[in-house]
């Protein structure tokens, strides 16, 4: 929140004012101690006190890129965006030179080229000394006019890219600015006039193509006797003519020099623009080549990653298929073994039921044969009545005893069958638990041994 631009701030050159400072330098400023301690909650009024306390100008310095207080205050001004009148008062400040430098730097960043030429060119007459901190953290001696000249000419100053401004001769051609007149020209004129008064210089040789001297008499004057006569001409008039001729020559030479300078500036600006266009075109081509190369490398990497991913997925699928196939085979073997065990158990139960039925039939057959023998004895002839009575009495008691004996015998047989069935069931369960505890190889060996036993072959050794 403390690093945001104010809500009512206007966009500068089509963007956020703080974005005029590069992101890496802006981040370094946000992380600096001076920004956190001195620039927090600064307003336009409090900013004046911080600007008056400045002792140097500069951008960033040191190996870890520390920003100078001058650069921190520039970013703070971009953040709060003070009014134009305050910036002009900063520039008009004569007592505090670093306040003037701060205002000039902010004006160069934010305002138009016309305002820059209008308000910054008068500062070229300020020759006060300034301390400039370079990248190594050392102070260098500079002057205010050098500082303003670098602001108007350089594309990057104090580690900030300066917005491009229109050339001065364009404004002069559009009648927006007058021709710049240096203050040194009047001083040079005064010096030349003093030197002319002290010693009269000889007139310069007249070029062959120049116009004729107006002071030279014409042929008509020579015919009428008013020619060049040293006796009739006064020395004061000759001196005045020489001075006027010298002044006209100087004014012409100055205008020619100014025109040549403007032509030279236009040619240099044109050459610089063409060179800049070539450099921009070359950088654009190089950037396009780098982007194309990066895109190709990215495509190759993506293709290689896709191929590797496909191989890994194919390998995982094959491994899963192998595992599923192995599990299916193991499940089939276990189901086959369980089915075999179930069939063997059912065969044993059927055999036990068959044995119980045969035993039951034998018991019935024995009881019937006993009854038959008893009836045949009771019907045999020559039987004494008393003996028959006794036998009848004995026969009367014998069926109950016989029935009791038969019941006891049946109970014993039932208990014996139950015990035999329990023993077989225990044996069957123990065999099943042993088979379950046996491994797959043991099961296979057991099945093979069972088949070999049926075929009459010796068993396999585990």
Q: Using one digit for the tens of pLDDT, what is the confidence trace for 27-64?
A: 999 999 999 999 988 888 899 999 999 999 999 998 88
pLDDT of 245 over the 70 cut: yes
Encode pLDDT of 73-122 as tens digits: 999 999 999 999 999 999 998 899 999 999 999 999 999 999 999 999 99
- Confidence class of residue 210 from pLDDT cuts 50, 70 and 90? very low
Rounded to a whole number of angstroms, the distance between the first and last alpha carbons of the chain is 82
- What mean pLDDT do residues 323-332 have? 81
State the angle between helix axes of 23-31 and 69-80 in degrees (0 to 180), rounded to the nearest 10. 100
**pLDDT number for residue 289:** 78
Domain ranges in the chain are: 17-174
Of 230-244, 276-290, 297-311, 421-435, least confident by mean pLDDT is 230-244
Q: Which of 39-53, 300-314, 338-352 has the highest mean pLDDT?
A: 39-53
Q: Is 158 exposed, middle or buried (0-12, 13-18, 19+ CB in 10 A)?
A: buried
**pLDDT number for residue 323:** 84
Q: How far apart are CA 365 and CA 357, in angstroms?
A: 12
- What mean pLDDT do residues 194-206 have? 56
State the angle between helix axes of 144-153 and 113-120 in degrees (0 to 180), rounded to the nearest 10. 160
**pLDDT number for residue 58:** 93
Average pLDDT of every residue of the chain? 78
**pLDDT number for residue 254:** 67
More confident site: 183 or 128: 128
Give me 395's structure tokens: 């026969």
**pLDDT number for residue 53:** 93
pLDDT of 215 over the 90 cut: no
- Asked whether the beta carbons of 159 and 59 are under 8 A apart, the reply is yes
pLDDT of 404 over the 70 cut: yes
């Amino acid at each position: 929140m403390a690093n945001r631009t104010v809500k009512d701030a206007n966009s500068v050159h089509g963007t956020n004012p703080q974005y005029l400072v590069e992101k890496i330098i802006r981040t370094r400023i946000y992380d600096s101690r001076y920004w956190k301690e001195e620039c927090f909650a600064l307003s336009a009024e409090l900013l004046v006190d911080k600007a008056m306390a400045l002792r140097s100008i500069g951008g960033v310095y040191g190996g870890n890129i520390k920003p100078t207080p001058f650069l921190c205050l520039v970013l703070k001004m971009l953040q709060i965006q003070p009014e134009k009148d305050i910036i002009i008062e900063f520039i008009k400040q004569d007592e505090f030179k670093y306040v003037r430098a701060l205002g000039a730097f902010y004006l160069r960043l934010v305002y138009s080229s016309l305002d820059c030429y209008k308000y910054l060119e008068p500062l070229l007459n300020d020759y006060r000394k300034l301390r400039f901190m370079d990248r190594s953290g050392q102070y260098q001696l500079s002057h205010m006019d050098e500082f303003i000249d670098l602001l108007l000419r350089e594309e990057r100053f104090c580690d900030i890219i300066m917005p491009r401004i229109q050339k001065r001769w364009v404004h002069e051609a559009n009648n927006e600015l007058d021709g710049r007149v240096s203050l040194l020209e009047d001083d040079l004129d005064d010096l030349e006039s003093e030197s002319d008064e002290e010693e009269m210089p000889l007139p310069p040789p007249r070029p062959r193509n120049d116009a004729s001297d107006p002071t030279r008499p014409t042929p008509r004057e020579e015919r009428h006797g008013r020619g060049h006569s040293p006796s009739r001409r006064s020395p004061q008039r000759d001196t005045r003519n020489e001075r006027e001729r010298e002044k006209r020559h100087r004014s012409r030479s100055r205008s020619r020099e100014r025109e040549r300078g403007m032509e030279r500036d236009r040619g240099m600006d044109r050459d610089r623009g063409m060179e800049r266009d070539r450099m921009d075109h070359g950088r654009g081509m190089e950037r396009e080549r780098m982007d194309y190369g990066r895109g190709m490398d990215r495509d190759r990497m993506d293709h290689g990653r896709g191929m590797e991913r496909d191989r890994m997925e194919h390998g995982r699928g094959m491994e899963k298929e192998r595992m599923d196939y192995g599990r299916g085979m193991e499940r089939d073997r276990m189901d086959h073994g369980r089915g075999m065990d179930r069939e063997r158990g059912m065969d044993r139960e059927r055999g036990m039921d068959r044995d119980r039925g045969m035993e039951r039939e034998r018991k019935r057959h024995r009881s019937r044969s006993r009854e038959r023998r008893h009836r045949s004895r009771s019907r045999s002839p020559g039987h004494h009545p008393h003996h028959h009575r006794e036998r009848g009495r004995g026969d009367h008691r014998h069926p109950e005893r016989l029935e009791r004996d038969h019941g006891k015998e049946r109970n014993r047989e039932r208990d014996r069958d139950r015990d035999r069935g329990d023993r077989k069931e225990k044996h069957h369960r123990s065999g099943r638990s042993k088979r379950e505890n046996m491994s797959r190889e043991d099961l296979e060996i057991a099945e093979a041994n069972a088949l070999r036993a049926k075929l009459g072959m010796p068993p396999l050794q585990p």
